[in-house]
Structure 1
Amino acid sequence: MSRTRPSNRVAVAFASAGVLGLGLLSPVASDALKSGPDAAGRPASLVVRTAAGKVRGDSRTGYDEWLGISYAADPTGADRWKSPQPVAKWSGVRNATAFANRCAQNTGWDPGYEKTITSEDCLALNVYVPDGAKADAPVVVWIHGGGNTGGAGQDTDPRKFVQQTGAIIVTVNYRLGALGFLNLPELRAESGNGPGNYGLLDQQAALRWVHTNIARFGGSPKNVTIAGQSAGGSAVCDELASPTAKGLFAHAVIVSGGCNLQTTAAGQAQSTAFVKTVGCDTASDVLTCLRAKPAAELLAAQKKSGVSPSVGGTAFPVNPGTAVQTGNFNRVPVMLGQTNSERGLFTFQNYDYLGTPMTAAVYEQQVRATYGANADKVLAEYPLSAYGTPGEAWTAVQNGSTSYTRQQLFGSLSRYVPTYAYEFAESDTPHFTSIHLLQQKSETARDFPFGGAIHVDDLGYIWEYLGQTLPYDDDQLELSHQMISYWGHFADDGNPNGSRTPDWPKYSIDTGKLMSLKACDTAPSGNRAPAACSKATDGFAAEHDLGFWASLPS
């Protein structure tokens, strides 16, 4: 079998289909393969030598991919709840043509997550290199979302991003839930580095793998952008605040994520409750008991006693919210933002999706539970009489308070680093894959008033989320092209601006200007071509009633 490329890549012939099927080559054939980048910066063949051994990727239209590369050892047995350990070196050539196991997690509504996943041998990453990659190409390391309890690197298909920008994309698996974030005194006694943050330490291990190996794929270890959405976006802020992540990335992108870790005490309280639920609280050796439990039992206990990341250890010694307020963080350019109805998804998910739409009584209960001493003011500012349903009122309240918190983050970061803020305001967008598919079957989902672009809706404009192409109209496709241009420029030099895109100003507390990302509404029968209608605006505060939220006592 032979492969030739018009881009002057070296063609490699393999004599034995049987050898290929095993993913192995003879020593002579293996040594004959070039494993470094060619003159243009791309790998000269599909076999690349990493620090641990050689891997063989696969060729796609417009790009090559290497899937399921282990960046750390199997974190099971005695290594369960330990910092990620080095992967053992191997001889010969390993196939990197299929995704690794997803990390252990309970079921979810996303396609592919219909069954419980119990695999723990999952610490792997995926590398995507476009045909048009230049030498020392910029690298984007993507951290998936999923509430720190679900998801995997393979959820992101970056093919349109790599082909348009020429950047290299790396997607990452990391430990989740109780397996990723347990914080116990017994674990602290074993190691002062890890308790509460094993999943975050996995991300750092992946970044170190990139630093060591990405040049072999044509990427620049000096020009790495770390990016993530939702829980992945929050993880980016966690890494900004981590002293042990210093120097591992040059730019950061936070998509619909915050900057906050719960306290060590809160993390330990959660973890203690989890230990009791799983039945190890009376064991003479708690860690031995926990490490002997099958993953299925741990996941079942996690449904009743969830565990979230918390401050702790030498890697995450302070709350990232405090770090960004005081300037005590890894100072790199940051791009960050949100959708214009972030909380519409959660109103639907927590109420109508479960068949229990929010009532007036529940609305008041939620406001009082969430806003405490300020609840009467919130209820007066957002009266039920102003909305079609209690759920719509609750979405408006949550959108307001969330947007205020995000505006504060914009301001904190902008005091110290170039900060580019945005809001994805394409309210007519098809919703992200899981909701879009649900709407095909459910009248409740079709008729629900989400209030605009919801959490996750913007991801499909950057890459194919969950491998699905959504039915965007031509104006929205133009917006997608524009957003990818902004992201590509930011990955290149920490500034999203380039030719043929509206100017995106740095965020300033004085002006409050951010980029509003939206598509035009071009008439199909008109004389104008489809287009994006994004622009810099100072209307974010008024749109989300931020003056009211700023007036409340903290």
Structure 2
Amino acid sequence: MRRLLVGLTALAAVLAVPVPAQAGGRPHALVRTDAGWVRGETTAEGRQFLGIPYAQPPVGGLRWKNPKPVEPWKGVRTARDFGNRCVQTASWDPGYEQPSHTEDCLDLNVYVPEGAGRRPVMVWLHGGGLTAGAGEDIVPDTFARQTGAVVVTVNYRLGAMGFLATTGLDGEARDGVSGNFGMLDQQAALRWVRSNIGRFGGDPGRVTIAGESAGGRSVCTQMASPTSKGLYRAGIVESGAYANCAARAHGPAVEAGAAFAKKVGCADLSLACLRGKSSAEILAAQAGFDWGPVVGGDFLPVQPFEAYAKGAASGVPVLNGANKDEGRMFAFAQFDAGGTPLTAERYPAVVTDAWGAELGERVIQRYPLANYPSPTTAYGTAFGDYLMACPALRLNGALATRGPVYSYEFADRTSPPFASLRELDTDFDFGATHVNEVQYLFKHFGLQTPLNAEQRVLSRQMVQYWGSFIRGGVPRADGQPAMPDRSELVLSLRTASGGGNSLSATVHQEHQCDLWDAAVLR
């Protein structure tokens, strides 16, 4: 051992880096990646390494190009602060009061629990509608310790920077399809994990990709992509199956790209013109467009559900679910947040405007105002069932023949609104709305959520469910029913006073999915 330490000291001197220290017997926070040394820090929860670049900054001539491997650096890179957020507007989320105009943002964060041995790995893809958010939106250090998993959170290009589709824009797209740069960033991060995570104590053969909302949709998309094969073992989709995980068709995406280019002042679609625009100009012009992955080509030859039917994600275990009251947040934002709560008189017109006269009439019959405390809640319930709950159940069916699919519904209607909503001066009942489950698993925005005693118990149970799945088993929690691998059964996650965790065969009926499924199939 003494000879080994002497040799290590000599090697460190040659490399001009300090010898790793092990204070208190805990593992050091100095790791050598493929590109160079990084120094993180040791906390009460384990080790963390923040702001590690996994690809070259997509600036200048690399803007709207496929991600390039990060260039090596000399010496030791400090990895104690989050990297830059990718280009995005300001938002109501804590810490997002100012827009980000920084394109040098392709970084990731690694959280390592104490202990030896190869750990399972979870790679978290953040939500935000593919136009907002960052890997730092969750701090999973406690989750990593409790589950024994190494957790990686990822930044990827957003909005126009990540999803601009114009014919011939990406000179490196062998199939002529552009618009998937943000998705390819995610794959670049997964390749970094495959090459480097073993040095952090993770097992590159046991990687679970996970995400919520747009992050869940990203998981859904990556599972359908042939170019992601071999980069992960399992997937977790939280509220991410909206629109059946569908990508944009190539033709309309290119037309939208041309309209965007014209709006930003590059009517001739000149690459030089587009790259000459500042990120602030790009950001200002991207409003009003739909940004997301594009179908066609090597990355995503066919739509996800069609890809699953053809064998994509075969044998991949999936944990998939949604929240009971997904749509309440969206309805609140549309009506009450602006001081114009939906009224009974306007309800029929709003429903008809959303779904057309024929389907709208059936929606009004299925969601009568008498059944809800307010018209906004009635509309939010219908919208959530249409947007999130029923697509999640459809995804279960689409994946059922491909491998195990474990299904849940977060149903704690007493859950505190997530941090962005808690800051609002409102008594609106959000219930178990969109995003609310995230704070039961992680420190959302790095904050401690004010959970009561029963909710803390549910939080621990959810971490156990997620953890056992990440480790490669059936999702289980101490003394609780296992999460079912059957599309007709769903595990409802509730506090003890709310009925506790239980298996339900009625979630499909509760969300009126016969109505919404028939509308989709028409």
TM-score with structure 2 setting the length: 0.91
Are 2:242 and 1:275 equivalent residues in the alignment?
Answer: no
Which residue, 423, 444, 447 being the options, matches 1:437?
423
Equivalent residue number for residue 489 of structure 2:
513
- Secondary structure of the residue that 1:220 maps to in structure 2? strand
Equivalent residue number for residue 347 of structure 1:
331
Are 2:373 and 1:394 equivalent residues in the alignment?
Answer: no
- Secondary structure of the residue that 2:287 maps to in structure 1? helix
- Output aligned runs, 1:87-126, within 5 Å: 87-126=70-109
Measure how far apart 1:102 and its partner are. 0.6
The 2-side partners of 1:34 and 1:313 are apart by 48
- Output aligned runs, 1:39-438, within 5 Å: 44-132=27-115, 134-188=116-170, 190-192=172-174, 195-258=178-241, 259-281=245-267, 283=268, 286-329=270-313, 331-360=315-344, 362-372=346-356, 373-402=358-387, 403-438=389-424
- Secondary structure of the residue that 1:97 maps to in structure 2? coil
Equivalent residue number for residue 449 of structure 2:
470
Are 2:429 and 1:449 equivalent residues in the alignment?
Answer: yes
The 1-side partners of 2:353 and 2:304 are apart by 25
Q: 8 Å contact 1:195–1:312 — kept in the other structure?
A: no
CA RMSD, 1 decimal: 2.4
The 2-side partners of 1:432 and 1:265 are apart by 38
Distance 1:547 1:303, change over 3 A: closer
The 2-side partners of 1:243 and 1:122 are apart by 26
Equivalent residue number for residue 546 of structure 1:
513
The 2-side partners of 1:263 and 1:43 are apart by 51
Distance 1:112 1:538, change over 3 A: same
Which residue, 460, 475, 480 being the options, matches 1:496?
475
The 1-side partners of 2:341 and 2:44 are apart by 46
- Secondary structure of the residue that 1:470 maps to in structure 2? coil
Q: 8 Å contact 1:274–1:306 — kept in the other structure?
A: no
Q: 8 Å contact 2:130–2:291 — kept in the other structure?
A: no
Which region of structure 1 is more displaced relative to structure 2, 313-322 or 539-548?
Answer: 539-548
TM-score with structure 1 setting the length: 0.86
Which region of structure 1 is more displaced relative to structure 2, 489-498 or 295-304?
Answer: 489-498
Measure how far apart 1:233 and its partner are. 0.1
The 1-side partners of 2:64 and 2:72 are apart by 22
Distance 1:506 1:549, change over 3 A: same
| Cα distance per residue 1:79-129 (max 9 Å; x no partner) | 000000011111211111111101010011001111111000000000000
Equivalent residue number for residue 7 of structure 1:
none
Q: Which amino acid aligns with 1:30?
A: V
Q: Which amino acid aligns with 1:308?
A: G
The 2-side partners of 1:551 and 1:272 are apart by 35
- Secondary structure of the residue that 1:186 maps to in structure 2? coil
The 2-side partners of 1:298 and 1:84 are apart by 19
The 2-side partners of 1:279 and 1:304 are apart by 16
| Cα distance per residue 1:294-313 (max 9 Å; x no partner) | 00011111124443322133
Equivalent residue number for residue 504 of structure 2:
537
- Secondary structure of the residue that 1:493 maps to in structure 2? coil
The 2-side partners of 1:435 and 1:62 are apart by 28
Q: Which amino acid aligns with 1:383?
A: P
Q: 8 Å contact 1:230–1:255 — kept in the other structure?
A: yes
The 2-side partners of 1:468 and 1:303 are apart by 29
- Secondary structure of the residue that 1:139 maps to in structure 2? strand
The 2-side partners of 1:521 and 1:146 are apart by 32
Measure how far apart 1:382 and its partner are. 2.4
Distance 1:34 1:471, change over 3 A: closer
The 2-side partners of 1:302 and 1:410 are apart by 33
Q: Which amino acid aligns with 2:485?
A: K
Gaps of 5+ in 1: 1-9, 15-24, 36-41, 523-531
The 2-side partners of 1:461 and 1:240 are apart by 25
Q: 8 Å contact 1:49–1:55 — kept in the other structure?
A: yes
The 2-side partners of 1:100 and 1:353 are apart by 32
Measure how far apart 1:364 and its partner are. 3.1
Distance 1:157 1:270, change over 3 A: same
The 1-side partners of 2:228 and 2:66 are apart by 14
Q: 8 Å contact 1:43–1:218 — kept in the other structure?
A: no
- Secondary structure of the residue that 2:168 maps to in structure 1? helix
Q: 8 Å contact 1:136–1:220 — kept in the other structure?
A: yes
Q: 8 Å contact 2:54–2:188 — kept in the other structure?
A: yes
| Cα distance per residue 1:193-227 (max 9 Å; x no partner) | 66111001000000000000000001000000000
Q: 8 Å contact 2:124–2:211 — kept in the other structure?
A: yes
Q: 8 Å contact 2:461–2:478 — kept in the other structure?
A: no
Q: Which amino acid aligns with 2:256?
A: Q
Q: Which amino acid aligns with 1:45?
A: H
Measure how far apart 1:549 and its partner are. 3.5
Which region of structure 1 is more displaced relative to structure 2, 391-400 or 201-210?
Answer: 391-400
Distance 1:329 1:305, change over 3 A: same
Measure how far apart 1:32 and its partner are. 4.2
Which region of structure 1 is more displaced relative to structure 2, 63-72 or 363-372?
Answer: 363-372
The 2-side partners of 1:31 and 1:472 are apart by 43
- Secondary structure of the residue that 2:352 maps to in structure 1? helix
The 2-side partners of 1:189 and 1:214 are apart by 31
Q: Percent identity?
A: 42
| Cα distance per residue 1:322-353 (max 9 Å; x no partner) | 22244334541000101100011100112211
| Cα distance per residue 1:9-28 (max 9 Å; x no partner) | x9xx99xxxxxxxxxx8645
